[in-house]
Chains A and B, each alone.
Chain A
Amino acid sequence: MNPQSTSPLQQPDRAKELLMLVTQNQRRIFSYIYALVPDRHDAEDLLQETNRVICEKFDQFTLGTDFVAWACQVAYWQVRAARQKFARAKVVFDQDLMDAVAKTVEELRPELDLRHEALGRCLQKLHPRDRELVLTRYEPGCGVEEAAQRSGRSLDAAYKALGRLRKLLLDCVSQQLDFESAS
């Protein structure tokens, strides 16, 4: 039996590798797409489409190489192909700008992983009421209105508070990384 002659999904180890790699890197792939298509629902649709293509083309991926880089390349072409579809969205970067942003995401990828970890620590530092507001805003199926309602704020106050908290978290994450690199 020649293992090369069968599809990756017919090779149990290969299928498990695929599932493991895709599952473990969903956040990273989503993050890449979201920077290029800054709309949650559009980005999720593209993530699904990217997952489908990754499944189909997994035999082209060489184990031991950078899966996220490969998956982001797949995602990049999905985003390019879907630009027309998302033309009605508020923001569709032109091709040159999209390429420039994609390049920046790629360059910052190791740092973004560290930032994600640091964000967990920064969330712990928030006042519980603020943390609840932020997390409700980002819960699946929720938005600013829901977050405002649950926290007893007006919609306008919630928008302002969320803007302030995001900046606070951004700064906190940067400080965490500075602190860690200095220690």
Chain B
Amino acid sequence: MNDPDILELNALSNSLIEGTLSDEQKRRLEALLSESEQARRFYVRAMALSSSLFDYAAEMQVDAPSAPAPRAKLPFPIARAFGPALALAAAVALALWIPPRLAPLPEPASSETVGEETVAQLTASKDCKWIGDTPLVGEWCNAGKKLQLAQGFAEITFDCGAQVILEGPAALELSSPWSALLHHGALRAKVPPEAIGFRIENPAVQIVDLGTQFSMLAEENGAAEVFVMEGSVEAVGRDSVNQSAQIITLKEKQARRFALRGDGEVTNRDQKIARLSRKVEFQHGSGKTEYTHWSFDGTSGEIAHGRSVGFEPGGFDATFEPALPQTLVPGRWGSALSFDGPFSARAALPPKGTNGTRTLAFWCKIPGDATLSESDAIISWHSAENGERPFAIGWNGDPTLGALGALKTSLGRGLKVGSTPLRDGRWHHVAVVFVPNPKAPSRNHVKSYLDGRLEATSFVLGAMKNWKKARSADARVTAEGGLWMGLNPFQSPHTHGFRGELDELYLINRALSPREIQHLLRKNRLPSPDMLVAQ
């Protein structure tokens, strides 16, 4: 193709992209493309450029336009392109989730499959020397991340709540919030009841935890030794010679060696158990915790008092709209707020209360006969500052988005639906952790916990830069930022409001760990760092 041809093809492609192609131009374009492979290549590159621009533009709604991510890993706009099919598939898959028994060993994740989904956090370290990247304590790790420890001890807390201590030299690949691959080295796993089903595997064995503490020593030749300190585990040994899998339940104080050519007894068992039982003293970092707590116990008239710790005290009381004295009912702890649809409450937001990493936790009770039109947000919030996007947590009333009645978290246009229906007239504890991506702070990793158990794998939610433009003109939004209970005034059209009960609402300035969420659920107060270490 010569230059005039290229210019003509470029003009035709532009007209095509903009939908202004005339019939004559269409015939000319078809003729050029039919005749020349070079023309087709130009056309395909031009169309791919536009396709990529759709992708970057959707990303730029999240990021500042001056910083396009050169390696865009955010999935292609899900809400636009995914449709209900896969959302339902995800819901079905999660609803049908059972601890795998003879599931084939997955291929180790390669760097190509590494997403932006964080699955675990490095929560403590001692005398660590790392190979390659040196992760910092407090750093969130993506799925596919391989932690390579030359020496020392590292504590990794998975989003499901399982805690692993890795002892160097060792290499551990984080597969998901529920699983990891031990390439070599020693680890100890402590798995609370809410994380039952957590898995550690290597080529010779897959350990499915049944609520316990266990250790594993993996050799580079693929063999592994498993020691159960407390409780029991299910070990699925893989025998490559017989192409078979063997399931063994190992109980407390039992140990087993697994190799690709069959399993056997562990040599020097007692010495190894003694070594793996040695206590490791970690220095846990304790970030300053600031929070506001609305208990609804000291509620009087039109006001529910918000108690702040760390945040500037006072000023965060919730005002009822309309003021109705009969909105207080017996709650999960003390009294709770009852919402009947039109009723809602609004509180001022603590400064920086909605920016950055944070956790929102509360108890809610949704009647079994709540209708889909009553699926408005339980909590929503928005700061009037520029660049902030509205968040909302509620239950899903749209079957095309995922499991009906399950927890729904939305941020701007992005949303995530859990799998467990909430409309059963019982109290449920909800905790949602928001962790901004350090490279693109307006993207959030969202982890939702229902009754202390990780409800859905964390997910990166997109948000809108120009959300105000996209929603209808609603004076309340522009005029009144704040935290709303029982209503999402930031969406249009409004539904009938939330019907159900709300109790013990916490807004916290950092990401609570799964153990802290458990503590909050059980005690209705945040634990001190000392209390967690002692547990």
Contact = CB atoms under 8 A, between A and B. Distances in A.
Contacts of B65: 128, 131-132, 135
Contacts of A117: 70-71
A151 interface: no
B30 interface: yes
A98 to B, nearest CB: 10
A123 B50 contact: no
B263 interface: no
A23 B75 contact: yes
B511 interface: no
Given A63-B107, A64-B107, A119-B52, A30 B100 contact: no
B48 A115 contact: yes
Interface in A71-118: 90-91, 93-94, 96-97, 100-101, 104-105, 108, 112, 115-117
B16 A47 contact: no
Interface size on A, as a range, is: 35 or more
Contacts of B103: 3, 11-13
**Interface secondary structure of B, over-half rule:** helix
Contacts of A163: 10-11, 14
Contacts of A153: none
Given A1-B102, A131-B65, A140-B80, A55 B85 contact: yes
A51 B19 CA distance: 26
A51 B82 contact: yes
A31 B80 contact: no
A155 to B, nearest CB: 11
B33 interface: yes
Given A10-B96, A13-B106, A27-B52, A93 B30 contact: yes
Contact of B33 (A15, A47, A101, A138): A101
Nearest to A131: B65
B75 A26 contact: yes
B250 interface: no
A20 B90 contact: no
Contact of B56 (A20, A91, A119): A119
Interface residues of B, number: 73
A154 interface: no
A180 to B, nearest CB: 12
Given A120-B71, A140-B57, A90 B90 contact: no
Contacts of B41: 104, 108
A9 B113 contact: no
B17 interface: yes
Q: In the complex, which of the residues A22, A27, A94, A169 has the most CB atoms of chain B within 10 Å of its own CB atom?
A: A27
Nearest to A128: B66
A121 B97 CA distance: 41
B82 A115 contact: no
12 contacts: A3-B103, A12-B103, A13-B104, A38-B17, A52-B85, A55-B85, A116-B52, A117-B71, A128-B65, A138-B56, A138-B57, A140-B61
Interface of A: 1, 3, 9-13, 15-20, 22-24, 26-27, 30-31, 34-35, 38-40, 44, 47-48, 51-52, 55, 63-64, 90-91, 93-94, 96-97, 100-101, 104-105, 108, 112, 115-117, 119-121, 123-124, 128, 131-132, 134-142, 144, 159, 162-163, 166-167, 169-170, 173-174
Pick the 6 closest A-B CB pairs, nearest first: A26-B76, A15-B93, A48-B83, A138-B57, A52-B85, A120-B70
Interface of B: 10-11, 14, 16-21, 26, 29-30, 33-34, 37, 40-41, 43-58, 60-61, 65-73, 75-78, 80-83, 85-86, 89-90, 92-93, 96-98, 100-104, 106-107, 113, 115, 176, 466, 470
